[in-house]
Amino acid sequence: MKLKRILIVLAGLFLLGVVAVVVFLLSLDTMARWAVEKRIEAQTGLKAEIGKFHIGLREPVVSITGLKLYNPTNFGGTLLMQIPEIHMEYDRDAAKNRGEIHITLLRFNLGEVDIVKNEAGQTNLFVLGMTLPSKDDLAKSKDLNEIKKRTGYEFKGIDMLTVSVGKAKFIDLGNPKNNREQDIDIENVPIPNVKSPADLTGLLLLVVLRSDNFFNSLVAPAGLK
């Protein structure tokens, strides 16, 4: 059941990332696109490129298009994720006055994710923090208290989440013959009332089913080094 455990923790990491993005954007005034890129790089250590960035001054809307995140230099500085669109609408009053993150609409389009194995045999997803969890870690990801500890905001849920996933690539910097890619082709899957990582496990299982065993090698012990 290792794959199931990984999926649950990935769901928790996704929700934590969403809340962190909202908290980050709420701290912004009007900033140029390049300044946002630099802030992302400073906070994550990952180089970022943004095509277009919009934060509503009157309406609680944030839109990012053409976002690319790149791996650290120990993974060749190659592409990590290509995200054509993140569109988010949130309850501004809840965030500012009650310390709560309540997202009314989130549209997330993951165009491409690249899993990179470097010449030292390390895999980027695990080095960047997506390790196989212990039972205690699993419990933390389920109850979402970890989100409040890390961000200071209580997560109240996403009323409607719509997700698209394009393709995944595996890149072996030590042996390019192992390189491969897999089209997943999931478009606009609606997920209402997301309150916890468990609400995302169905989506993640769908990704696995559409990936034609692409992710199976990550479950093997050798992939966790």
E-state strands within 24-134: 48-49, 52-55, 61-70, 79-90, 100-117
Number of structural domains, the chain?
Answer: 1
d(CA 5, CA 117): 22
pLDDT at 84: 94
pLDDT at 26: 59
Look at the chain and count its residues: 225
The helix or strand, by DSSP H or E, that contains position 57, with its residue range, turns out to be none
pLDDT at 138: 42
d(CA 143, CA 190): 23
| Residues of the domain holding 139 | 2-224
pTM (predicted TM-score): 0.76
Residues 6+ apart with CB under 8 A from 67: 48, 49, 50, 51, 81, 82, 83, 84, 86
Give 12's Cβ-side CA count (13 Å radius).
24
Question: Which pair of structure tokens corresponds to residue 40?
Answer: 């992302």
Q: How does pLDDT run across 122-160, given as a tens digit for each residue? A: 888 777 754 444 445 444 444 555 566 666 778 888 999
The helix or strand, by DSSP H or E, that contains position 28, with its residue range, turns out to be none
Q: How does pLDDT run across 21-68, given as a tens digit for each residue? A: 666 665 554 455 666 677 667 666 778 888 888 877 778 888 889 989
* pLDDT over 80 at 18, yes or no: no
Helices (H), the chain: 2-26, 33-44, 92-98, 124-127, 135-143, 145-151, 201-210, 216-219
Mean pLDDT, rounded, for 73-79: 89
Do residues 192 and 160 touch, judged by C-beta distance below 8 A? yes
Full DSSP string of 169-222: EEEESS-GGG-EEEEEEEEEEEEEEE-SGGGGHHHHHHHHHHTTTTTHHHHSGG
* pLDDT over 50 at 175, yes or no: yes
pLDDT class for 187, splitting at 50, 70, 90?
A: very high
Residues 6+ apart with CB under 8 A from 139: none
Question: Which pair of structure tokens corresponds to residue 83?
Answer: 């995200």
pLDDT at 225: 42
Nearest Cα residue to 69 out of 57, 54, 56, 86:
86
Name the more confident of 150 and 178.
Answer: 178
